[in-house]
Structures are given as C-alpha cells and as structure tokens.
Structure 1
Amino acid sequence: MKNLTAQKFLALLICMIFNSYAFCQVQDSVSRDSINLQQRIIPAGDIREASPLLTGYDLVNDAFPGSWPMFGTNLRMKVGGYFKADFIGDLDGTLDKTQFLMSTIPVEGTPEFGNNGYIHFMSQETRFNIDVRRTDGKVPLKLFIEGDFFSSTNQFRLRHAYLVAGDFIIGQTWTTLSFLESLPFMIDFAAGDALFGGRTTQIRYQKTINSNLKISAALEMLPFLGIENPDQLPGKATLQAPLFAIRSDYSWQTGLLLMGTSIAQLHWDGGDSGPSDSDVQFDVIVAGRQYLGKNNYFTWNVTYGNGSGENIMAFAGSNANAVLRSDGKLETMPAFAFVGGYMHKWSEKLSSNLAYAYGWLDPPPSRDPYSLKKGGVGHVNLIWHPITHLSSGIEYMWGAQRTTNDALGKAGRIQAMVKFDF
C-alpha cells in the first residue's frame, strides 16, 4: 500500500507526457541512429556524449554542423547541450533521489531499510557546452568546455574542459578507459553503474593508425585514492605518480572492439608518527558493440583489476582500492565488473534499451561491515523521438546490493523524461 500513491501519480504523469505529443507535426524529420550499413559505423554517434573526442585528421574531417565563423579569426564555434526534465517515482526509498546507484539501496539492519517510496522532479542534468575549432593550418585545434547542474545545490558544475592540439588531448574529460561506446542509452543519470572510468585531468596521445585501428596512451590524475583506514592510524592517502593507461579501438563495418589496461601507485603517507606504505593498482578492460542489421545492437564491458575498485563507478567514493591494516601495510582488493546491453528499434520513432550492470569486490574482514561488496542494477526503457531535437521516454530500473556483512537490499524505480537537444 505504501507505494500505491506514487505509482498512480507517475502513471498519470506518463500518460500526460505522451499524450501531449499528439499535437506534434509527425511529418517533421526524425532523429536517427548513426548506423548506415553502406558505410562504416561511427559508434560515437550513438553514445550519451554528443561530442566525440576526435584528434588529428579525424577532427579536420568532422563536419562540425551548427557551427559559425568567429569573424576576424580562423576559428569556428558552436554552442550545444540539452534540456532534460526527469520525473521519478522511487518504489523503495533509495537514498539518492537523483540517480539509481546500487550503493544507495537500503539494506537489512540499517535504519533506512523499509523506507517508503517517494516522487522527485528535477532538471539538473540540463547541460551546455562550447566547442571552438581551428581545422586549417598544420595543427588542428579544439577547445571544449561543458557543464551541467548535477550538484546538491543545483549549482553549475564543470564536466569537461580540454584542449585538442593535433593528436594530443590535455585537460579534464573522460578517462582513457571510459568505454562509453559499450553502453546503450539509459534515462537514469547513473547509467553504467558498473562501468569502469569517470572524468579526470589528463595528457593523452590519441592516434588513428588506419581505417580500422586507433591507439591511445595517457598520464592521468587518479581522482579517488580509495584507501580505508579502519584503525584510524596517523597519516593520509597521497598521490606520488600519475596513472598510466593505454587503449586500442578496433572497428569494422558493423562493430567495435575496445581493449585497455592501466597501472598506478597507491600510497599511504604516515608522516612522522604513522606508517608509510605503497602498493600497485592495475586493471584490464575489454568492451565492444556489435550491430545486427539496422535495428539492433548489443554491447558489453568486462573489467578485472586489483586495487582499482574506486575506478568502477558503483564503488567510487567508498575507499574500495585498499585497506590499511593494523600493521601499517596496504592490502589491495580485487574487483570485477560486467555491463551488458541491447538496443532494438521498433520503428523510426520508437526504440527500447535493455542493460544490466554487475559489480563485485573482494574485501578483507577489516572493511566497514556495511560497505558495498557486490550488487547489480538493471534498466529497460522505451524512447520516443516524435520530431527532430525532441524526445521522451520511460524507464524501469531494479537493483540489489549485498554488503560486506552479508546484509541484502533490493529496490526499484520508475523514471520518465522529456529532452530537447541542440
């Protein structure tokens, strides 16, 4: 009974959203998938980020639609982004109103377990970006800055700020091993909860070798050091060296295979009175996307690492890389993650996406008993593109988490959205 009110309200809201489009001009052009089986697929056209990360001649050859000349210079500029309004009906009282994370599902033995459902409306995912390019001359240049309002106080937040100069990328953007091409489209902001990666400041070399192969190598800031200190020993986690990552993208007419690995140092600085120790973090990722005709594709992403749990989005911010033992030694934690997805186009205007993400961590007994050990989250949605630039949809998501002390929690959520992109 506790969820009936939220369910009825959300059902009425969804009906209103979809019925409001009955007045749209159906003869308007429709936003299409990027697939064209007569040409090579560009998977970046199907991913959540609208601006693909291009370097070198790939940047020169990009059409850059919607841009205009900056008079008196050899630069061109474009303003982009989207407006998105979300209408959420949470069925089990998860702890984050804005995104569905497995780590925020209430578990047995906590005060939040058994929470009532609630509704939440927001427009925080709305974002704006500026894209400035120079494609003539010996060295192609691009400056890209983007922000959104996805913060606790709705303040503007920096997402991307980077410069492309030839084959080099300098600044803050997705990490080298963030394989966004391995995700279908999801309405929920958390999207790939078990995806490896995130955004950080870096220096990356990215080179297209031929029409099939692209390689990348980067030095990156490690954003989450992730060392748990259960015995409250003196000191702090510090960064002494950048993370080093390499990646290869191999594509063919109907698909893409992504492979990468990274290595970094974890360090605890005990100062004058505490212990100091270092250990190694490493990981290996394999991912891809395969189209099946014009109306279907499936995606996958598999990650295994040691001391790199914080790089998996589900574990970020939970000190999931290592534990500082009572003897002052670091003990790294193995981590595994899998994300699988599928997209089907019902018609030129309707499509559906199905995705499931699973994350697993092997923690030592000294870890916080209510920290996330393993869990999974699934999404299924229906997306409607009635006219160019405008889309709407509804998504059901479900998930479960099990903590280190074996406590279990399960939850579900429904989310509808209206989106205008430009």
Structure 2
Amino acid sequence: MRKTPLILMAAALPMAVNAANTEFSYGGYVKLDATISQYSEGEIGAASAGRDFYVPSTIPTSPKGTDGDSVTNFDIHAKTSRFNFKTVTDFENGQKITSFIELDFMLAPGGNEVVSNSYNPRLRHAFIKTGNWLFGQTWSTFMNVGALPETADFLGVSDGTVFSRQAMIRYTNGNFQFALENSETTTPGANDDGTLPDVVARYNFKAGKNAFTVAAIGRQLSTYTAANGNTPKVDESTLGFGISLSGKIAVGADDIKFAVNKGAIGRYVGLSEAADAVMKDGDLEATDVTAAFIGYRHFWNSQLRSTVAYSMLKADYDVDNTGDTESSNSVRVNLMYSPVKKLTYGVELSQATHKLDNDAEGDLTRVHFTTKYAF
C-alpha cells in the first residue's frame, strides 16, 4: 500500500518539472449579440452566417426592375464567445517555445434554436512559435488585425478588409515578415487547391503613435474538373498578385483606421465575396478586386466612444454575367460604453448594398446590440 503514493509521485514528477519551466495562461471573452435586420429582397436562411454577422454575399438580391419582399428578422446568440489557452516554455539552452490554441462557436455544424442552442466549438488558432519562426494556423500575414475599426458586428468592415485564418510557415525578422500559406482558389461553383503555397511578404513600421503595414501576395490560381461524358477535362492555372496598405493614424485621443487592397485577392477580401478567377475561352483568368475601408473613432470621454466606418468592394471579371458579386458597400455608426475596462455595451446601426454582375441587387439595414466581457 505504501508503494502507491511513491508511484504517483514518480509519475507526476516529469509534469511538475515541465510545469516549473512553463507558464500557462488563458483568455477570451463572453459576448451576446442581438440584431434586428431588414432585407429588401427576401429572407436569409436561418442557418446562414449572414444572420449572425455581416457577410455581404449573403444579402438577398433581385433582378433590376424587380421588387422583392422586404423581410425583417430578429436574432440573438452568443456564438462569438471564445476561449484560448497559451503556454510559454523556457528550456535550459535558452530556447523559448510558445503555443497557442483558440476556439469559438461560429460557423460550426450542429445546434439549432429549437431547444438548446448547443453549437459545436471550432478551431480559430493553433500554432507554435520558436525563435523567428511560426508554424500552424493563425491570421494570414497578408492581414493587419490592428487596422480593424471597433464595431459591434463580429467584423463590421467585411467588404473592404483582408480576413483570413489559415495554416502557414512564417519567418519574422524585425519589421519584416515572410510566409508560405495555404493555397485555395475559388471559381464559380468550385474551390481548388493549387500546387504551390501562397507567398506573402510584409513590412510593419511606426511613426510616433501612427502604425502602418504594407503587404504583398503572390498566388497560383488553379481549377480542375475531371472529364465527364462529353465534357472535357479542365486543368488550368494562372498567377495572381495583390498588395495591401493599412494602418492606424492617431488624431489626438481619437484614431483613424484604414486599408486599401488591390489585385488577385478574391477569397482574401469580403469574406470570399468575389470569385478568385473565371474561365474565358478555355483559360483561367484572375479577377481584379479592389477593396477598402476607413473608420474614425471618437472618444466622448474615458468610458464612451463612437466609430463611423465605410467599406467597399468592387470585382472586375473577364467574362460577363457570372452571377457572382460585382460590388458591395456598407456604412455603420455605433456607440460603445465601457463602465469598466473589460466590459462593453454597444449599439450599432448599419446599411449595406450587395450587387451581382448581372445587375441583381439587394439592401440590408441592421440594428445591432452587443454586450461583451473579456477575461
């Protein structure tokens, strides 16, 4: 009987030694979102992500000259709540390794609003960092999270911002970053992997309280369809390039956040609103996309602040009437109140327009209430 405690101590010893060299931490937030949304051209399906946050491509459209049915929906959920866990381990040789994993409950299968609203967790981030290297899934190096305006909506400036989390290998040296990232090509009706990773180069710099980022991306766009009866095989690829300029400008206690994005960046902006490429005369042609946003935040006092933001996207296809998004834009204004540092109440009014390249169009007007506690 006396051997049992000794065995348990021996088994626990390696864990105790490791814990002595490892710092554990956790974080996240609990967030409730409630929206009243009016769609000018019909209803979004109850399971659509566009009911939970602003996804431009989900706004229903009707052909030019046709009036759809105006529909108003009320939604309330806590899906954006998230939890993360982090470790930092120091080794005897001076090396340090950081690991990070984060989950939330957005866009995951499972759950409905009938009884329990039991939504499955989904992976957001999972990476390790050692020295100048990062391996795993996190924000694309092409994206500048620090330039996003404060909004009640999960993202807000969806039309105009780069937004992507994906697997990568990233090297950082001072202000420079270089990455090989997961490749994917969206074409009308299909998504395809390329044979080469997306290549991203980025430079971050500061000037006083102002911060800016310039990023460039090179991509192999590809599509493959196996032969089927009289339909021949399609196996085409092309190269695409894009650039992004983003930043934050201090205006006294206030700030302006902005981004301008241009090039073959279809899936990277607008929550993949525009196709990356289309087929023309047997060749794959990259879509030229322009996306931008600007947001101004004003602090009324230490607890109360407002942001007004505008975002837009324009896609130029080499063929007509693809049925894909040609343009979208949105404007929003909010009032955010934090009685204590980590607790925020907010209300936001937004209006958005979504237009297809066949001239079908639709509008969204939304009032968004939110409560968020970060821990």
- In 1, the alpha carbon distance for the partners of 2:360 and 2:225 equals 33
Given that 2:338 and 2:345 are in contact with CA atoms closer than 8 Å, whether structure 1 keeps it comes out as yes
- In 2, the alpha carbon distance for the partners of 1:229 and 1:189 equals 27
Given that 1:176 and 1:247 are in contact with CA atoms closer than 8 Å, whether structure 2 keeps it comes out as yes
How much does 1:98 deviate?
Answer: 0.4
- In 2, the alpha carbon distance for the partners of 1:204 and 1:75 equals 23
Given that 2:321 and 2:358 are in contact with CA atoms closer than 8 Å, whether structure 1 keeps it comes out as no
Q: Which runs of 5+ in 2 are unaligned?
A: 1-15, 45-49, 111-118
Partner of 1:258: 213
Distance verdict in 2 for CA 1:405–1:348, change over 3 Å: same
RMSD in angstroms over aligned alpha carbons?
A: 2.2
Partner of 2:24: 77
Distance verdict in 2 for CA 1:197–1:89, change over 3 Å: closer
For residues 37-62 of structure 1, what are the alpha-carbon distances to aligned partners after superposition, in whole Å with 9 as ceiling and x for unaligned? xxxxxxxxxxxxxxxxxxxxxxxxxx
Percent identity of equivalent pairs: 25
How much does 1:367 deviate?
Answer: 4.5
Given that 1:390 and 1:420 are in contact with CA atoms closer than 8 Å, whether structure 2 keeps it comes out as yes
Partner of 1:118: 73
Could you say what secondary structure the match of 1:188 adopts? coil
Distance verdict in 2 for CA 1:229–1:158, change over 3 Å: closer
Given that 2:278 and 2:319 are in contact with CA atoms closer than 8 Å, whether structure 1 keeps it comes out as no
Confirm or deny that 1:178 pairs with 2:138.
no
Could you say what secondary structure the match of 1:124 adopts? coil
For residues 195-230 of structure 1, what are the alpha-carbon distances to aligned partners after superposition, in whole Å with 9 as ceiling and x for unaligned? 11310000001122xxxxx110000002x4112369
> What letter corresponds to residue 268 of structure 2 in structure 1?
N
How much does 1:72 deviate?
Answer: 4.0
Given that 1:70 and 1:76 are in contact with CA atoms closer than 8 Å, whether structure 2 keeps it comes out as no
Distance verdict in 2 for CA 1:168–1:405, change over 3 Å: same
State how many pairs are aligned: 337
Confirm or deny that 1:416 pairs with 2:363.
no
How much does 1:135 deviate?
Answer: 5.0
Confirm or deny that 1:323 pairs with 2:278.
yes
Partner of 2:6: none
Could you say what secondary structure the match of 1:395 adopts? strand
- In 2, the alpha carbon distance for the partners of 1:420 and 1:76 equals 24
Given that 1:255 and 1:288 are in contact with CA atoms closer than 8 Å, whether structure 2 keeps it comes out as yes
Confirm or deny that 1:313 pairs with 2:270.
yes
Distance verdict in 2 for CA 1:74–1:271, change over 3 Å: same
- In 1, the alpha carbon distance for the partners of 2:70 and 2:17 equals 54
Partner of 1:225: 185
Q: How do 1:16-415 residues align onto structure 2 when only pairs under 5 Å count? A: 72-92=19-39, 95=44, 96-109=50-63, 113-135=68-90, 137-151=93-107, 152-153=109-110, 154-193=119-158, 194-208=160-174, 214-222=175-183, 224-228=184-188, 237-271=192-226, 273-293=232-252, 295-306=253-264, 308-316=265-273, 320-325=275-280, 327-369=281-323, 371-415=324-368
Given that 1:358 and 1:374 are in contact with CA atoms closer than 8 Å, whether structure 2 keeps it comes out as yes
Distance verdict in 2 for CA 1:393–1:94, change over 3 Å: farther
How much does 1:362 deviate?
Answer: 0.6
Given that 2:163 and 2:271 are in contact with CA atoms closer than 8 Å, whether structure 1 keeps it comes out as no
Q: Normalising by structure 2, report the TM-score.
A: 0.84
For residues 286-342 of structure 1, what are the alpha-carbon distances to aligned partners after superposition, in whole Å with 9 as ceiling and x for unaligned? 11111112x200011001103x211113434x5x111123x4211221110011011
How much does 1:184 deviate?
Answer: 1.3
Could you say what secondary structure the match of 1:195 adopts? coil
Is the deviation greater in 247-256 or in 112-121? Answer: 112-121
> What letter corresponds to residue 125 of structure 2 in structure 1?
H
> What letter corresponds to residue 272 of structure 2 in structure 1?
F
Is the deviation greater in 89-98 or in 266-275? Answer: 266-275
- In 1, the alpha carbon distance for the partners of 2:234 and 2:71 equals 45
- In 2, the alpha carbon distance for the partners of 1:78 and 1:244 equals 32
Given that 2:185 and 2:223 are in contact with CA atoms closer than 8 Å, whether structure 1 keeps it comes out as no
Given that 1:70 and 1:77 are in contact with CA atoms closer than 8 Å, whether structure 2 keeps it comes out as no
Could you say what secondary structure the match of 1:171 adopts? strand
- In 2, the alpha carbon distance for the partners of 1:181 and 1:237 equals 30
> What letter corresponds to residue 34 of structure 2 in structure 1?
F
Given that 1:94 and 1:411 are in contact with CA atoms closer than 8 Å, whether structure 2 keeps it comes out as no
Q: Which runs of 5+ in 1 are unaligned?
A: 1-68, 209-213, 231-235
For residues 338-384 of structure 1, what are the alpha-carbon distances to aligned partners after superposition, in whole Å with 9 as ceiling and x for unaligned? 11011111111101111111000012335533x21001011211111
Could you say what secondary structure the match of 2:366 adopts? strand
